[in-house]
Amino acid sequence: MNFNNILSDDELYDEINFLLQKNKLTSHFSPMKTNSQVKSIIKGVREHTQMPDLEVETIVRRFGRPVLYIQNDTFELPQSDVLRQRLQNGKEVIENSLRAVGRVELREHPKHSWVGTAWLVSEDIVVTNRHVAEEFATKEKEQFVFKRNFKGRSILARIDFAEEFRIPEQDEYQLIEPLYIEDKDGYDIAFFRVKHAVSDVQPIILSSTSTKHDDVVTIGYPARDSRIPDQTLMSTIYGDVYDVKRLAPGVLMNEETYNGLTYLTHDCTTLGGNSGSVVLNLNGSGAAGLHFSGSYGEANYAVPATIIADRLSRII
């Protein structure tokens, strides 16, 4: 999540200043820091004349780019009225997609019980990242197969569309066939076939019209990440709750091109387990992309939906 990007959102910036004026955010800051000092820091960061204060940055990130619980196929609402309204406007879009997103779980793997997120793009096909797929599948002689562990046993994979906070129910489907894993010099994308069509769940459609500044959410399974340089910030934002389905609001940022590959960027809050998460456009056009990586404090990266659609067309 990009701190400056949050403060460049006029509606959020005005809301933060209004709450400071009404002493609604004071309790989050050190008693030595006055509201006027906080407002001055935020203004300076927004105008690129001051470096962010760590304490102020923490609360602005938590307020402006929260990570929300998903329970019983709906989501909690954020503290921010601005974000609350945006999510309420996209409520039907979000809730229609929640059950199409699941956690990739493994058996017979020597290290991992689960490895990332995947989501339905057709009634029996899920998409995830190559680097997720490579934990349990590989390419042999022009064919994609499941890996075997050191005992020679095939690693078994399934997708659980539940795993919600404090909800014990599971909704598991076996992954029976690796359909496609893109080469390492290509996009971070892979597809698997589910054992049978997932009942009462609509696949997520793929957007061809997503653009910069569109409101989006990621839906996935963030895991505790030791690579994050500010562990306190991570604990504050996530409430020390990981490995369950979460929703994070944000916006699309610039497209960026590296080594001939063009990616979407977004500023939703994510962690390692979010690999494979859907980046869902709240305007109803469908998935904007497939989240695969992030640069701390700068941006997160996603494979564009147009690329997902192209690769999917090759295997169906």
Does residue 316 lie within any of the structural domains? no
Does residue 311 lie within any of the structural domains? no
**SS3 label, residue 97:** helix
Same domain (yes/no): 163, 249: no
pLDDT-derived band of residue 11, with 50, 70 and 90 as boundaries? very high
Does residue 7 lie within any of the structural domains? yes
User: HSE-up of 12 (CA within 13 Å, CB side)?
Assistant: 26
Same domain (yes/no): 169, 184: yes
Does residue 9 lie within any of the structural domains? yes
- Specify the pLDDT at position 34: 77
pLDDT-derived band of residue 31, with 50, 70 and 90 as boundaries? low
CA distances from 159 to 11, 96, 101, 128 (A): 38, 18, 9, 11
Same domain (yes/no): 142, 157: yes
Does residue 261 lie within any of the structural domains? yes
Helix-helix angle 10-21:35-46, to 10 degrees: 170
pLDDT-derived band of residue 145, with 50, 70 and 90 as boundaries? very high
Which conformational region is residue 200 in: left (phi greater than 0), alpha (psi within -120 to 50 degrees), or beta?
left
Same domain (yes/no): 254, 292: yes
Same domain (yes/no): 218, 86: yes
List the domain range (segments joined by +) for residue 16.
Answer: 3-64
What's phi and psi for 288, nearest 5 deg? -80, -30
User: What is the pLDDT averaged over residues 196-218?
Assistant: 93
Q: What is the CATH number of the domain that holds 180?
A: 2.40.10.10
Q: Which of 194, 218, 243 is the last residue of a domain?
A: 194
- Specify the pLDDT at position 28: 53
Same domain (yes/no): 231, 163: no
Does residue 238 lie within any of the structural domains? yes
- What global pTM score does this model have? 0.94
Q: Which of 64, 79, 110 is the last residue of a domain?
A: 64
Long-range contacts of 287-291 (CB under 8 A, 24+ apart): 287/119, 287/204, 287/205, 287/206, 287/207, 288/207, 288/210, 288/214, 288/216, 288/252, 288/264, 289/210, 289/263, 289/264, 290/127, 290/128, 290/129, 290/188, 290/189, 291/218, 291/220, 291/266
**SS3 label, residue 96:** helix
pLDDT-derived band of residue 227, with 50, 70 and 90 as boundaries? confident
Does residue 313 lie within any of the structural domains? no
Count of the separate structural domains present in the chain: 3
- Specify the pLDDT at position 295: 75
Same domain (yes/no): 104, 250: no
- Specify the pLDDT at position 259: 95
27 against 145, higher pLDDT: 145
- Specify the pLDDT at position 101: 98
Distance, CA of 308 to CA of 125 (rounded, Å): 12
Same domain (yes/no): 13, 31: yes
Q: What is the mean pLDDT of the chain?
A: 92
Q: Which of 164, 194, 224 is the last residue of a domain?
A: 194
Distance, CA of 163 to CA of 172 (rounded, Å): 10
**SS3 label, residue 304:** strand
Does residue 259 lie within any of the structural domains? yes
Contact (Cβ atoms closer than 8 angstroms) between residue 119 and residue 101: yes
* Residue range 58-91, pLDDT digits in tens: 778 889 999 999 999 999 999 999 999 999 999 9
User: What is the pLDDT averaged over residues 1-11?
Assistant: 87
